[in-house]
Structure 1
């Protein structure tokens, strides 16, 4: 496939709804920009409150998190991600996200998350 044949699109984030991240955390809200279970790709904006409690977990592929507002970290690391920072997770890394400081008027950390899960081969 040539690059001329790849579609380009714009997604209006303002028109997308915030959806609770159930069953993991009702107070964590997601705005889905892309969700492709076949390719294992998803892009979401995530709003996490100061009392966010997500369980320790890992992804089979790489993850990139761009911080838009406030501060957060992984319990397993001593760095803090703030506005304008990018966190890159290698495939299979384990982490426990937690909010450090919201610093925002809404009381949320706002991030843009891009996930590329590895494809699992089907056994025959």
Structure 2
């Protein structure tokens, strides 16, 4: 069976007419995610000068997608991944102390499960913004790898829910991001 992905004339633009597959959730579309100077209420505080903007909490498959915004230089966290992570840097730059590469504006990074690294935003970077797709959990560790804390789709979801309640959007505001 060959590929059927091809451009067809507008006259052939016929939507699917068959029966929907059972138990398929609705699509999720979050408009203007690259409009980074959006309403500050949408950014959930994570640490001093660190926020995230949720785009998707996929609770049944254990992953989340968010935009991380950091407005300070220094060490952000040391962590181990229980699942793969994909990152696209939208603004600024950052790196891991344990690796030679730098994530610069417009770059993509894949981080395999089990990787342990220490995220640093270097001096001179006023703002770092990166879109992260995180599968599984971050396990925060000390320099010797001993666990200090865990963050996953459920803790991120509850943090966002509490924030949106506090800023007047209502705790249910976060429900639009849950699949």
Band of TM-score, shorter chain: 0.7 to 0.9
Q: Which runs of 5+ in 1 are unaligned?
A: 119-124
- Where does 1:1-124 land on structure 2 (aligned, <5 Å)? 5=24, 7-12=26-31, 13=33, 14=38, 17-21=42-46, 25-100=47-122, 101-102=124-125, 107-117=126-136
In 1, are the aligned partners of 2:88 and 2:108 still within 8 Å (CA)? yes
- Give, in angstroms, the shift of residue 40 of structure 1: 1.2
Q: 1:18 to 1:40 in 2, by over 3 A?
A: same
Structure with the larger helix share: 2
Q: State the aligned residue count.
A: 110
- Give, in angstroms, the shift of residue 49 of structure 1: 2.1
Q: Which runs of 5+ in 2 are unaligned?
A: 1-19, 138-179
Q: 1:61 to 1:82 in 2, by over 3 A?
A: same
Q: Give the distance between the partners of 2:106 and 2:96, measured in 1 at CA.
A: 17
Q: Give the distance between the partners of 1:9 and 1:56, measured in 2 at CA.
A: 31
Structure 1 stretches of at least 4 aligned residues deviating more than 6 Å after TM superposition: none
TM-score normalised by structure 1 residue count: 0.76
TM-score normalised by structure 2 residue count: 0.55
Q: Give the distance between the partners of 2:55 and 2:74, measured in 1 at CA.
A: 22
Q: Which residue of 2 aligns with 1:121?
A: none
